[in-house]
Amino acid sequence: MAADTLLEVANLGKTFGHLTVLKNVSFKLDRGERVALIGPSGSGKSTCLRAINYLEPPTEGEISLEGQLIGRRRNGQPMTDREMAPQRAEIGMVFQHFHLWPHLSVRANVALQPRKVRGMSRDDAEMLAGDLLGKVHLAHKAEEMPQRLSGGQQQRVAIARALAQQPKLLLFDEPTSALDPELVGEVLTVIKELAAEGRAMVLVTHEIAFAREVADRIIFMDGGQIVEDGPAKAVLDRPKSPRLKQFLASLKLGGADE
Min dist CB 36 to other proteins, Å, is 20
Q: Residues touching other proteins: how many (CB under 8 A)?
A: 32
- Rounded CA-CA distance 192/92 in Å is 16
Min dist CB 251 to other proteins, Å, is 28
Min dist CB 128 to other proteins, Å, is 14
Residues 77-136 that bind other proteins (CB under 8 A): 81-82, 85-93, 95, 97, 99-103, 112-113, 116-117
Edge-to-edge strand list for the sheet holding 217-222: 91-94, 169-173, 201-204, 34-38, 217-222, 225-231
The interface region with other proteins, picked from 145-153, 177-185, 187-195, 197-205 by CB under 8 A, is: 145-153
CB nearer other proteins, residue 47 or residue 226: 47
Min dist CB 155 to other proteins, Å, is 12
CB nearer other proteins, residue 74 or residue 103: 103
Residues 155-184 that bind other proteins (CB under 8 A): 158, 161-162, 164-165
Contact between 205 and other proteins by CB under 8 A: the answer reads no
Task: Tell me if 33 sits within 8 A of 200, measured CB to CB.
Answer: yes
What are the φ/ψ torsions at residue 127 (nearest 5 degrees)? -70, -45
CB nearer other proteins, residue 18 or residue 103: 103
Min dist CB 147 to other proteins, Å, is 7
Min dist CB 87 to other proteins, Å, is 8
Contact between 147 and other proteins by CB under 8 A: the answer reads yes
What are the residues binding other proteins (CB under 8 A)?
53, 55, 81-82, 85-93, 95, 97, 99-103, 112-113, 116-117, 145, 147-148, 158, 161-162, 164-165
